[in-house]
Structure 1
């Protein structure tokens, strides 16, 4: 903890080498890395702590894990933000993610070079490969001995794959019939116990299946049982219930962070600030403060994965709430032969909790009342698959500040989102494939839920400060000591779930920052802090 100092508004004021805003996949890894290097670091989290033992097997209780402040949606394919996938709590969105952690493939990073559309990343897959290796070991990723897609691995997964649940077994059967290869999926959940530095023994997954409601045993590698205990063991401080409202500046430097906690305004001074609040709250703060936006790209280039689901019912009992939700994967569709679209997608089996499924079926089919009740009698025989596909940045997809205030008196964000022709073609291709596969698996009464998944790309990285918000190392072009470390920096959506890549970028940003600091090139050295 830093030195106490008197400050305005009757609050204590402290000095830290670095302040991290957000404790999810983007904030927690770098917090741990900086603390391990001996820096005085503080993390501010808007939500509260949710220890594993407090996670009930109850979908309604999971509401506290999600960001509940209202967000406004617009566009032809507006995102349903009533239950958005941003997290709220110590651990961020990893508290309720399903632990699906496939790696991106090398060609994901250069869509424009390959297809002439989209945006290339300013760094190659090789720059992140070592971090993927490190993360898969540290998190305890369970997966197959040999993964069929992508470049050869320098090391295998830390643990054997988790058991295939009912939906995964059906997908395996249907995929074999249509000639699609499958593999047990890489999941950041333990198939056998693992000792976790700073936390203790994490037990193996119990196949409870309520991963999106929070893991009750600590088997899932959320940040609260992995990187955050490691960070606090090395001296980091985490403050929950802290909503950041302002960044104090002097010239091209951030000098402090202002936040509200328990109804009081507080301040800390910071040698450097790492903004890891996600692809909505990060640009929302920057737009409100008028920061890091000389390019005009803050809030632009919003993307969300094509994530259409296909559901059906079979004669055998599936029990769709049991087991790790995404147990089986196929990446044969990464670059489909003869496709009329750029990029690609993966196919995965999905588990689902009963209330979630009921709301999806009602929303997707317009079925309510007695008809919905009748359909839900077949819940235990229900199974689903879905795709996770790339998304191109479009000028019409962006985040802006609305003129409608939230409960804090701050403008609510409004997100404009519409599928482009590329997303529509990819979705049509994927829906045909899933229909053939699920029919071959013996499912009937098929219905689709067209949807988008994840929020990506509103403060993208790049080498040209006229077209991007941050450099490849995550540092803002406009400010010497402000870094962004979350999914807002992605130049393209990638054709896999984002969590593993967010963590890899987080560690890379921390390592780059520490290397520059050691060379005396960083703007966050102790002498600079004392001048604020």
Structure 2
């Protein structure tokens, strides 16, 4: 394959909107258009539902059905029943791949493992890593803390303060008690604690506090949950928003371009495709929450004569600084012991998350996986006999290791012939290798002598972020600290695009908390405008 360079892509002309777009088949008018219904878009819809504004939620997929196949591992993993994303391409090699994103009402949260931690306070500060500096955010942990509390209450998070030494300050307790470990995971936690480590019960949004409920959730890490026991964005945010008289959901609708007004500083409409028709959606405010890749791609595809590099891109940073985490699947096997755990995603470990006496740089996070099964392993090792994979997974503990991926201008998103290309060269890998080494030692001491590991590649991108970074300076950021585009008066981004850094934890709760924060800023600005209008003397 021919290796391409980002410079080649950057020099290529952008597709530009025609001066007069083709006449749409339908025109829809609303006050606020939210593009995407996942964690960011769903939470925004919920937060704005009582504002009095008409809200239109636009989702390119439809509702994922609750059906027996939700927990059929062959259907989910081997047949890819719920994978509905389009093909993306490796920017450097041109090789196609299926990304780890999902187009359903609720977005990726329909299949996520419901792991909902807060970022650590240090994640919002400038931090030195092995391969460089992780930049400070334009707001602090203290600024976001009240919204973390609101997001935990909204998404019914289960957790326990005081078990993890790195846990930041909470103004209120978790709304629900932490899920306890099942016996085999409790034994692992006891061993880790005996080694001087500090395992804790992870914060999560799974209603699985009885054996009966755990049985219903046993396959829900990476798959839908038919019983509705997962705190996904459809259940928690979208459905309550639709119960108000102000919100409407439009499914199977793909936004293909944003249209600016004559002055180029305001978006006046979104063009969307639905059932082979073109729909023009006009609104006063647009909130983009399609995921870090698709949000950046839409801005790039919306280039005009006035915005030749794409909308909101005077800084040249739209699509740049793409981050996804350095991640490894880790399997420890005790050949002589069956692991009967139904849901093992209850244990976490952050002893090496921050720099300390034994690690001069941050290493990252350990969290358990829900529970690997033979079909999941078969997807990655199709050549391996299923009975062998079943014997392995029956005797395994399954771990996900995460190390921070640092922002790099050379990592990003571009559009070539209307196809999404992902440019990603992992960095900060030595701390990740050290994290894997330390966990190997600890797991073997805990009684799992056989260890298999595999680092994830470009297609594992459910934690994507950073493609429209927030900051104070328009020259070095795309968004204001309140996540409004510097270049556009009425566009906000509510997904992980705004992250200045990726931290080393699941981003879902931070996206939700920030959406609540941004919604408050939008509401406050609207209130201020209305008060000014009322004070203005009549002409």
Give the TM-score range, shorter chain.
0.7 to 0.9
Answering whether residue 146 of structure 2 is matched by residue 106 of structure 1, we say no
Give the whole-Å Cα distance in 2 for the aligned partners of 1:341 and 1:458. 29
Give the whole-Å Cα distance in 2 for the aligned partners of 1:522 and 1:107. 38
Answering whether residue 488 of structure 2 is matched by residue 479 of structure 1, we say yes
1:502 to 511, 514, 526: 511
Give the whole-Å Cα distance in 2 for the aligned partners of 1:45 and 1:341. 44
Give the whole-Å Cα distance in 1 for the aligned partners of 2:378 and 2:276. 38
Give the whole-Å Cα distance in 2 for the aligned partners of 1:522 and 1:229. 32
2:242 to 215, 232, 236: 232
1:318 to 327, 339, 343: 339
Give the whole-Å Cα distance in 2 for the aligned partners of 1:511 and 1:296. 28
Deviations 1:413-435 (A, max 9, x none): 11111122xx2111121011111
Answering whether residue 298 of structure 2 is matched by residue 298 of structure 1, we say no
1:74 to partner: Cα distance: 4.3
Give the TM-score, by structure 1 length. Answer: 0.86
Change over 3 Å in CA distance of 1:293–1:228 after alignment to 2: same
1:469 to 462, 470, 478: 478
SS at 2:443's partner residue? helix
Change over 3 Å in CA distance of 1:66–1:521 after alignment to 2: farther
1:80 to partner: Cα distance: 8.9
The aligned residue for residue 265 of structure 1 is 278
SS at 2:474's partner residue? coil
2:497 to 479, 482, 488: 488
Give the whole-Å Cα distance in 1 for the aligned partners of 2:476 and 2:61. 33
1:477 to partner: Cα distance: 0.7
Kindly report which structure 2 residues correspond to 1:109-148, keeping only aligned pairs within 5 A, or say none: 109-112=124-127, 117-144=133-160, 146-148=162-164
1:460 to 469, 480, 488: 469
Q: Is the 8 A contact 1:75 1:418 kept in 2?
A: no
SS at 1:257's partner residue? strand
Give the whole-Å Cα distance in 1 for the aligned partners of 2:91 and 2:26. 42
Give the whole-Å Cα distance in 1 for the aligned partners of 2:207 and 2:162. 18
Q: Is the 8 A contact 2:91 2:421 kept in 1?
A: yes
Change over 3 Å in CA distance of 1:93–1:473 after alignment to 2: same
2:354 to 335, 340, 346: 335
Q: Is the 8 A contact 1:111 1:343 kept in 2?
A: no
Give the whole-Å Cα distance in 2 for the aligned partners of 1:10 and 1:397. 36
The aligned residue for residue 348 of structure 1 is 367
Give the whole-Å Cα distance in 2 for the aligned partners of 1:265 and 1:170. 58
Deviations 1:94-132 (A, max 9, x none): 001100011111110113489971221101001111111
SS at 1:42's partner residue? strand
Answering whether residue 525 of structure 2 is matched by residue 520 of structure 1, we say no
Q: Is the 8 A contact 1:457 1:492 kept in 2?
A: yes
1:275 to 288, 294, 309: 288
The aligned residue for residue 226 of structure 2 is 216
Deviations 1:350-380 (A, max 9, x none): 22243222233x28xxxx245x653443321
Give the whole-Å Cα distance in 1 for the aligned partners of 2:242 and 2:393. 43
1:59 to partner: Cα distance: 3.1
Q: Is the 8 A contact 1:55 1:213 kept in 2?
A: no
Change over 3 Å in CA distance of 1:112–1:164 after alignment to 2: closer
The aligned residue for residue 50 of structure 2 is 36
1:185 to 202, 209, 218: 202
1:463 to partner: Cα distance: 0.8
Change over 3 Å in CA distance of 1:433–1:294 after alignment to 2: same
SS at 2:126's partner residue? helix
Answering whether residue 30 of structure 2 is matched by residue 16 of structure 1, we say yes
Over the aligned positions, Cα root-mean-square deviation in angstroms equals 2.8
Kindly report which structure 2 residues correspond to 1:397-476, keeping only aligned pairs within 5 A, or say none: 397-403=411-417, 411-420=418-427, 423-451=428-456, 454-476=463-485
SS at 1:127's partner residue? helix
Q: Is the 8 A contact 2:87 2:96 kept in 1?
A: no
SS at 1:50's partner residue? coil
Give the whole-Å Cα distance in 2 for the aligned partners of 1:217 and 1:119. 41
Give the whole-Å Cα distance in 1 for the aligned partners of 2:340 and 2:360. 36
Give the whole-Å Cα distance in 2 for the aligned partners of 1:81 and 1:156. 42
SS at 1:431's partner residue? helix
Q: Is the 8 A contact 1:103 1:132 kept in 2?
A: yes
Give the whole-Å Cα distance in 1 for the aligned partners of 2:56 and 2:487. 23
Q: Is the 8 A contact 1:258 1:265 kept in 2?
A: yes
Answering whether residue 406 of structure 2 is matched by residue 392 of structure 1, we say yes
Change over 3 Å in CA distance of 1:184–1:265 after alignment to 2: same
Q: Is the 8 A contact 2:28 2:279 kept in 1?
A: no
Change over 3 Å in CA distance of 1:68–1:507 after alignment to 2: same
Deviations 1:461-488 (A, max 9, x none): 1111111111111110111101111011
Q: Is the 8 A contact 1:108 1:343 kept in 2?
A: no
1:286 to 296, 299, 320: 299
> What is the aligned length?
490
SS at 1:308's partner residue? strand
